[in-house]
A and B are shown apart, each in its own frame.
Chain A
Amino acid sequence: MKALFSGNVAADTANGIRAELPSELEVEIVADPKELTAKAAAEADILVTNIWRADYPPAPRVKFVQSVATGIEWIDTAALPRGVPICNAYGHETAIAEYVLMVMLVWSHRFREIESGFRERSSWAPSWVESGAPHGEIRSSTLGIVGLGRVGREVARRAAAFGCRILAANRSPREAGDGVERVFPLAALDEMLPLCDTVAICTAFGPETEGLFDARRLARMKPTAYLVNIARGAIIDEDALYAALRGGTIGGAAIDVWWQYPNAAEPQRRGSRHPFHELPNVVMTPHCSGWTSGMVRRRWDEIAENLRCFVRGETLINVVTTT
């Protein structure tokens, strides 16, 4: 049996888990998909990757696709044989939940402005010794979590320890708990938004979440509200968010996921057609909220386990869809 690890993330995964894979599994690694040969694709029984395009060589023997990411939108299912299960990978929950708490704290405490003012200009103005203007806290602030899945739950648990009031909106009914006071149906999101000091988007991308945050919904948020997106860029309407941030419809945003990504031709491509990088009320990171050593360790463990399951003919974990 042959497993093809395609792409640089998959290549690192292969090197990380090789020793834990069953000996009967033959491993082929192609770090750069441009070097993918017709032979390698044709012989693969298992694909481990985060990208599979229609213009790649045919892979007619593939019976199982293991994604090395959580989102599988870059795997073109039409380019694969029918009836193939696609599994995704987790392990990023801790890292992303920490990111959400971090950006909430940094925003409330005005930590970046105060730090850079003190470092660069020795400004004591925000200090109590100068009786400066006080900053905020996250205690007693209201956090609204959109999407109460694995990431959303981990965010809730941590925010609860800081004394936040926690609301959530979820497509399917979910029980409260983990510090969540109330769960709104996603259809009632409009009721939740005006209550929140912070809104954290933790939902999967799909037809019902694409453009979920449009101009109308952004206008329902508090003018001081902070919007955090760690899910997928296109859940927020790009034009509407830029206008809302520039015009002060909402207070600010922490954006980790984008509407466009770099490619070989444009390695420095901006994440949006709008100049978010010119806005002072935006903190922007390059799709890295989950990109930690802890995530890699947990994800490799999960992927190795799933490959062992497949080789042994056991039930797969994290099946997202079947082609």
Chain B
Amino acid sequence: MKVLFLGAFAASQFDFIAPVIESSVEIGTLANERDTHALAAALRDTDIVVSDLWRAGMPAAPRLKLLQAPVAGTDMIDRAALPSGVTICNAYGHEIPMAEYAVMAMLVWCHRYFDIAVEFRGGSWRDSGVTNGPLHRELGGLTVGIVGLGQIGRETAARAAALGCHVVAANRTPREGVAGVERVFPLAELDRMLPLCDIVVLCVGLAPETRGLIDARRLALMKRDALLINLGRGPVADEDALYAALRDRSIGGAALDVWYRYPTPEEPSIRPSRHPFHELPNVIMTPHCSAWTEGMARRRGADAARNIDRFIRGGPLMHVVATT
């Protein structure tokens, strides 16, 4: 059996996957998938491709049966361009750091941690108990609304509940018996959930029904001091409406990890939005890195390697996304 790690990202994950494969396989790597000559040669006898991408116009891959993505998102895989009979699988493990990130952002927001640390480093005891300074908030007792009760949403719910939050959720399909969640609204009834929440966490991917889901009207339904956390995809929250709501304080603040613009070779330091979110003091912003931990890479690598072993031994595959 021949396995090909294809593309820069798959190549970067080689060390987390290849050493964990138990079956005897021949492993190749092609970091530059645009090297069509090398790619054509490699794909001629490859059985398994490890990659996050597949484009139209790729050379023939007559023996390809498994496309194992080392990531959760398979939006860069053009299914129509694959030969028929290829099973596409993805990998998880990102839900743990993302849930940690969500709760961390909640805590930092409630405790005003960054502001207080900066102020004190400068020498001021303004926020101290010993000077009877202004109080901050606790997370315990607040209501957290999770939009999208998939793996990330469920892991976030469990942690928020352990910190004493009331957790509610909105999900497209009905869910029952989710640990820590007091009530699940159908996504169509999101408008009823939003006014209840002190914190809203977006854990949904981008799809026709989630693009612009949080628009000006829905932002206006949120509490005026509410925190919005976006871990899904930038455009789930309408860019113009979100900026305006934060600037005008119609919501309290936001912690944003996913964006509207991403760097390119021409603009490696591009700002993540056409609006200056970085000038707003009520925004916590990170560069799409909430999941990006060593633990995630290890768990995903183990998932991908186990799937390759299962494929070779003829066992059932995990995390099947589709079969062409």
A residues whose Cβ falls under 8 Å from a Cβ of B: 8-9, 12, 69, 94-95, 98-99, 101-103, 105-106, 108-109, 111-112, 114-115, 118-132, 134-140, 157-158, 160-163, 261-262, 267-268, 270, 277, 283-288, 290-296
3 closest A-B pairs by CB: A161-B162, A286-B128, A102-B107
B side interface size, CB within 8 A: 66
User: Considering only CB atoms, which chain A residue lies closest to B140 in the complex?
Assistant: A94
User: Considering only CB atoms, which chain A residue lies closest to B159 in the complex?
Assistant: A161
Within the assembled complex, what's the spacing in Å between the Cα atoms of A168 and B321? 44
Q: Which of A9, A106, A268, A294 contacts B141 (CB 8 A)?
A: A294
Interchain residue pairs with CB less than 8 A apart (12): A94-B140, A98-B139, A98-B163, A99-B111, A105-B104, A114-B286, A125-B287, A134-B296, A140-B295, A157-B162, A293-B137, A293-B138
B residues whose Cβ falls under 8 Å from a Cβ of A: 8-9, 12, 96-97, 100-101, 103-104, 107-108, 110-111, 113-114, 116-117, 119-133, 135-141, 158-159, 161-164, 262-263, 268-272, 278, 284-289, 291-297
Residues of B within 8 A of A123 (CB): 269, 287
Known: A139-B295, A294-B137. A8 touches B108 (CB 8 A): no
Q: Which of A102, A122, A139, A277 contacts B111 (CB 8 A)?
A: A102
Q: Which of A102, A122, A128, A295 contacts B292 (CB 8 A)?
A: A128
Task: Report whether A105 and B136 are in contact in the complex, using a CB–CB cutoff of 8 Å.
Answer: no
User: Considering only CB atoms, which chain B residue lies closest to A11 in the complex?
Assistant: B132
Q: Which of B107, B120, B269, B295 contacts A285 (CB 8 A)?
A: B120
Task: Report whether A291 and B136 are in contact in the complex, using a CB–CB cutoff of 8 Å.
Answer: yes
Task: Report whether A292 and B113 are in contact in the complex, using a CB–CB cutoff of 8 Å.
Answer: no
Task: Report whether B292 and A127 are in contact in the complex, using a CB–CB cutoff of 8 Å.
Answer: yes
Task: Report whether A277 and B292 are in contact in the complex, using a CB–CB cutoff of 8 Å.
Answer: no
Q: Which of B162, B163, B288 contacts A129 (CB 8 A)?
A: B288
Residues of B within 8 A of A161 (CB): 158-159, 161-163
User: Considering only CB atoms, which chain B residue lies closest to A92 in the complex?
Assistant: B129
Within the assembled complex, what's the spacing in Å between the Cα atoms of A130 and B25? 29
**Residue among B136, B158, B296 facing the most chain A CB atoms (10 A cut-off):** B136
